[in-house]
Structure 1
Amino acid sequence: MSDTDPGAAFEDGALVSRRFGDVYAARAGALAQSRAVFLAGCGLPERWAGRKHFTVAELGFGTGLNMLALLHLWAQHKPADATLHLFSVEGYPLRREEAAQALAAFPELGDLAAPLLRQWPQQRHGWHRFDFPALGATLDLALMDVRPALAGWQGRADAWFLDGFSPAKNPAMWTDEVLALVGARAAAGGQAATWSAAGAVRRGLAAAGFAVERLPGFTGKRERIEARMPGAPADPASPRLAIVGAGIAGASLARAARRLGLQARIFAHGAMASGNPAALVSPRLAAGSGVPARLHAQAFLRSVALVRREAPEAVIAEGAIRRLKPNEIARAEATIASGLFPQGSLRLQGDALHMADALVISPGRLRAIWLGEVEEGPVEAPRHMSDGWWLGTEGPFDALLLAAGYPTAALSGLPLRPIRGQVSTAALPPGAPPTSWGGYLIPTEEGLLFGATHGRGDADPSIRADDQASNLAGLARAMPDVAARLEGAALGAAAGVRAAAGDHQPMAGTLGSGRFALTALGGRGFALAPLLAEQVAALAAGVAPPLAADCAKLVDPRRFDSN
């Protein structure tokens, strides 16, 4: 994959890739081809009848036409309470304007194309998630070369749409290695379809385990291929979940569980670290585009998208400035150059990084929107019985999701470290945009908030006068004009204890025996929790998760087991 893609252009009514010299979709017959070759070729809609979860994967996202045709069919024939998961790969993403112009030729898909285009990724690399909540559908789009995308995807597809450019013009999309990965990621009884009838494609699919059949082609093509994987399809069970913790991690898990149609009971446990009157959601600086950089960029963009769409009333302010230390400027430049963020969303001006997509949010409002009903009171130690997990007299639960911040250590045995943080507040306008520098100054709904202290190894959440003085001193060094305005003002404070891991990465995944954890979020819970909760909920439900395998490994709670 190259950052210098020659792009696409319209020629005689069709959008053509200049790189491959092939057509994305002709205006005449493209939708009919999608329906005949891919939808009917994979036995849809009949094959999802009676299913609770159905997964479709695709090689060659292009304009998104196949996915829109699929969603259109799903809207007409969706099983009750079912969810649809889509996965697609695109190495050279189109610009939103190009896709919009191409899709305008299919007005019957307009109601679906509009939300797709609103969510169209503006970054060049990484994974991007589209939501179609009214349909119970989610699309994960991997913007990268096909082999790492397939190697990283951890789902199993009930249907595969093989729609890359011609094998003669884009052979990398049709290699035996790629087709073997398609086979390895096909569910039992899964079907694959393509307009191609190339002998190498037939042989590659057969070697991957498919039973391959040649059928009459569509509108002028002599033949096309359909292929079937042996076995009988089966839905994963729909587990009953117990979520322990009602901070941002627990609230995000509650939201993710609802999206998958799962029953979840939420138990509060101890003081929450998500209780400040305001929180800053901002990108994490990471040099290059390695695994940690991809994880944190994907999580930040997902959090911002979800909050803006599902909880706009929780947004206090948009945009923020980060004042960089001299040794941070190169990291900021690398973060901008990584292609993991929308173009223009990060702008470096001297030692100031302007973050257009950063948000200041109300934690209380966001938690209230996502949590739902919470079982208040002390939480007894979970017990694993023959019929599942029990918390006191409550149970049985098929899966136990631990998201209680630092107290998760006592519930799970995970090697978590406490970090006590205290912020200061005042009932005055901030007088400056949201700004961070190691500390931060942000607006609240009633004034301003600044700080914060970082008491590593300290699990005492009580308010301390020394920390109040430390926050004031830090503000005076970074923003003396604001500090001067606070002289003589009445100050409030809030404190909490966050959980961190020794490698400073979060924990999100299985602990075995039906236990899962979402913790070690440090001070970045509001940026990390929404996506990582979707990861944990998907693992608990047995459906395709949103993280690539290398990112999932980075946050695996069991990564310390052998240490």
Structure 2
Amino acid sequence: MTKDRFSSGAAPLGSARLDWRDGVPCSADFGDVYFSARDGLGETRHVFLDGIGGPDVWAARPRFTVGELGFGTGLNVLGLWDAWRRTAAPDARLHVVSVEGFPLEPGDLAQAHATFPELGPLAADLRASYPRRVPGFHRLRLDGGRVALTLLFGPVAEMLEKLTARVDAWFLDGFAPRRNPDMWTDTVFRQIARLSAPAARVATFSAAGHVRRGLAAAGFAMEKRPGFAGKLECLAGRFDGAPVADGSLPWYAPPAPLKPGATVAVIGGGIAGRAAARTLAQEGFRPTVFDAGEPSAQPERVLVSPRLAGPDDAYGRFMAQAFVQADAQRELPPAAGALHLPSEAETPRLVDFAARLGWDGSLAQPVDAAAASDIAGVRTPRGGMWYPAARFVAPPATMAAELRAARVDSLAAVDQGWRLGLGDGTSEIFEALVLAAGPWSARLMPGGLPGLRANRGQLCYLPATAGSRQLRLPVSFGGHVTPLTGVGGDALHVLGSSYRRWNLDASGDGWRGLDPGDLGSALDGLAAVFPDMAAAWRSAPLRGWAGLRATTADHLPFVGPVADVAAYEDAYAGLHHGRRGDWPTASYRHNAYVLTGLGSRGYQTAFLGAEMLASAMAGAPGPVDREVATALHPARMLIRHLRRPPAQRGSG
């Protein structure tokens, strides 16, 4: 895939203008109802659940994926969820992907759901997780994690083109074709075919001839069924067509899914490992986290604030979606906001990025110097960006998996999966492996993780002064400074942070502990925005945190399967010639995955990264667009290396 395959900015979301007719919502723009006035839930059950052959179609399936065009009020999702949870096996998992170009407001959802009290608890769970009205992908976890709902907010053809999935059944429930023709085009039908698993089912209320012919041309064997509530007919069918190529590059091909319930060793108990373990457990795997338990492994508090970049780039889209995903985590404390003070020339670019991402003022808004000073509680030298949803958080104490306080010294591939050699001389075998141990991940994996780097970072803890006590919220400026907060057993300010490349082999453990240069460097950065505060802290005692962070050259994490480096070098040695044609499919280390390279943005990126990881391991729908998934693939640095002529490769 190439960058120009996707648009340079998010398509603006339409506003759903509603008329209410006897408790039934009707679109004022399309002149059509969202569900039958006679019996909306009965319509869902007859047209869609019966139309795909439920519950028999999912009864023996440990994993089942449904795609829907037209989320609307969520009634079809609620009806499916209700039927599935009453008939599926207790350890089964359900994924639903639903596209909506005109998302309803939460209040409208609540009013529509009130018509169906039998769905009340499920509807409340859905509304509690309902995302912000931001264009793009949104991954929700429902029913304790057993149900994953991926909402795609945007135009249907564009959203489907960006999606990676193997869908077992489809609900086609856009407004009537004559009222909303964009939902019923041949382009949409071809995308449905591309995303369909063999023998995938499809059901729709429409019996229009061009819908039946379009689906048939895309590979579906269609038939008419009796309609509902006075409607003469509806359609159902099955995908009998040949698999449709999606243009994916062979060196980034997905691995074979892990079997349901597989045991997974997660190495690393920081935010990456904890987020991975929780999401893997929700996906039905059995994770165990191994962590040496070193107290200094992660800081006591971290700033979770947006990193805005252009949406025409995968980096910008990932960072924006990751922040929205982090903002939705219920275990994090409420947002208190943060102020960002870029250069005066940079602020207009950030405003443009936020607008093109579809962000409103609840996520980002520009402020002048007077407003910035009022927000911060201290005088600022210039205006900048106010991020109301930012927060300064402590690592969550919850763990959705067994935590083993043990050091992993070695890894060896065995027939059953992976043998972990532990620090006490014992070993254990797991069916699969996730490396989430920061820069040490590359040292553990046989063959390494090409492109993963270690960087030393630090945070300084500073006492209150007369001026610093007035600071109300975190302020970033290249570094960042926080108001008084509980760290190190006291009420202190946190000042951070600088990066320094670190060679683990040459420099060993010399990264531990602060030195006077760390504080001096941090204060030099602070002096550019708060000179009096910086001057007052020049003689402060040296206290704080130092640690190693894993980073990459393109500042994006590694998320996904681990490449077999030797096999890649053999299979793709000729990439530097620019040859087109058939290439072998990627060869990975069996059942080995990685979630690392999060840098200083771990709490912003770990939650979405964990969803990407779990989806890759389960063969579930991707929670991000295809270009973003490719941009985070762990083999990308190796492929870039192989694309260069041998004489130019060096050791990188």
Same fold (TM over 0.5): yes
Task: Provide the residue aligned with 2:324 in structure 1.
Answer: 301
- The answer as to 2:382 corresponding to 1:353 is no
Residue of structure 2 equivalent to 1:405? 438
1:159 equivalent to 2:174? Answer no
1:375 to 399, 404, 414: 404
Aligned counterpart, 1:425: 461
Tell me if 1:465 matches 2:516.
yes
Where in structure 2 are the equivalents of 1:275-286 lying within 5 Å? Answer: 275-286=298-309
Conserved 8 A contact 1:85-1:137: yes
Contact kept? 2:308, 2:353, Cα under 8 Å: yes
Deviations 1:480-524 (CA, angstroms, capped at 9, x unpaired): 454456465544121011111111222111121322111111111
> Structure 1 residues 371, 10: CA separation in 2 closer, same or farther (over 3 Å shift)?
closer
Query: 2:476 aligned to 436, 439, 448, which one?
Result: 436
Partner of 2:18: 9
Q: Deviations over 1:316-362 (max 9, x none)?
A: 86211111212321222123312443552212112231111111111
Distance 1:499 1:274 in 2: 12
Contact 1:409–1:415 (Cα < 8 Å) also in 2: no
- Which one is further off, 274-283 or 15-24? 15-24
Matched with 1:253 is 276
Moved more, 268-277 or 506-515: 268-277
DSSP-derived class of the 1:326 partner: coil
Question: In 2, distance between residues paired with 1:124 and 1:16?
Answer: 23
Match of 2:144 in 1: 134
* Greater displacement, 485-494 / 38-47: 485-494
Q: For 1:55-66, list aligned pairs within 5 A.
A: 55-66=65-76
Q: Does 1:452 align with 2:529?
A: no
Give the conservation status (yes or no) of the 8 Å contact 2:311–2:357: no
The equivalent residue for 1:387 is: 416
SS of alignment partner, residue 390 of structure 2: strand
**Cα distance in 1 for residues equivalent to 2:258 and 2:237:** 23
Q: Which residue type is aligned with residue 175 of structure 2?
A: F
In structure 2, what is the equivalent of residue 331 of structure 1?
349
> CA contact under 8 A between 1:276 and 1:494: conserved in structure 2?
yes
Give distance in 1, aligned partners of 2:39 and 2:501. Answer: 63
1:29 is matched with 39
Report matched runs for 1:105-124 at 5 Å.
105-124=115-134
Unaligned runs of 5+ in 1: none
Is the Cα–Cα contact under 8 Å of residues 308 and 354 in structure 2 kept in the other structure?
no
Preserved CA contact (<8 Å) 2:96 2:149: yes
Q: Is residue 2:214 matched to residue 1:196?
A: no
TM-score (norm 1): 0.91
1:492 maps onto 2:528 in alignment: no
Q: Is the CA contact 2:412–2:419 (under 8 Å) kept in the aligned structure 1?
A: yes
Supply the distance in 2 between the matched residues of 1:51 and 1:5 (Cα, whole angstroms): 36
What SS is found at the alignment partner of 2:265? strand
How many Å separate the matches in 2 of 1:457 and 1:274? 16
- Say if 2:521 is the partner of 1:521: no
Give me the whole-angstrom Cα distance separating, in 2, the residues matched to 1:28 and 1:226. Answer: 22
Distance 1:135 1:467 in 2: 42
Deviations 1:253-283 (A, max 9, x none): 1111111121122222696885111100111
Residue identity opposite 1:170 in structure 2: N
Q: Is the 8 A contact 1:51 1:235 kept in 2?
A: no
Note if contact 1:383-1:389 (Cα within 8 Å) is conserved in structure 2: yes
Cα deviation, 1:62-96, whole Å, max 9, x if unaligned, reads 11111112222234334212221111001122222
1:377-397 CA distance string (max 9 Å, x none): 432332112332212254433
Partner of 1:547: 624
Q: What residue identity is the alignment partner of 1:497? A: L
One-letter code aligned to 2:414: M
Q: Does the Cα contact within 8 Å between 1:5 and 1:19 map onto a contact in 2? A: no
Query: Which SS does the other structure have where 2:82 is aligned?
Result: helix
Report the RMSD for the aligned CA atoms in angstroms.
2.6
Percent of counterpart pairs with the same letter?
Answer: 37
Contact 1:162/1:192, CA 8 A, preserved across alignment? yes
Task: Give the 3-state SS of the residue equivalent to 1:522 in structure 2.
Answer: coil
Output the CA distance in 2 between the equivalents of 1:3 and 1:22.
Answer: 22
Q: CA deviation at 1:409?
A: 2.4
SS at match of 2:336: strand
How many angstroms apart in 2 are the aligned matches of 1:30 and 1:189?
Answer: 28
Distance apart, 1:240 and its partner CA = 1.9
Q: Deviations over 1:148-181 (max 9, x none)?
A: 2222222222221010111222222112221122
The residue aligned with 2:374 is none
Unmatched 5+ residue regions in structure 2?
1-9, 242-255, 369-382, 505-509, 563-587, 642-652
1:39 matches 2:49: yes
CA distance in 2, matches of 1:274, 1:329: 34
**How many residue pairs end up in the alignment?**
553
1:68/1:109 contact within 8 Å kept: yes
Structure-1 separation of matches of 2:236 and 2:115: 28
Whether the 8 Å CA contact 1:55–1:85 is kept in 2: the answer is: yes
Question: Residue 220 of structure 1 aligns to a residue in which SS?
Answer: coil
Q: What CA distance in whole angstroms lies between the structure 1 residues aligned with 2:502 and 2:407?
A: 24
1:427: Cα distance to partner?
5.2
Q: Which amino acid aligns with 1:322?
A: H
Normalized against structure 2, the TM-score is what?
A: 0.79
Rate the CA distance shift 1:4–1:19 in 2: closer, same or farther, 3 A: farther
Query: What's the CA shift string for 1:31-52, capped at 9, x where partnerless?
Result: 2111110112112223222332
CA contact (8 A) 1:247 1:272 kept: no
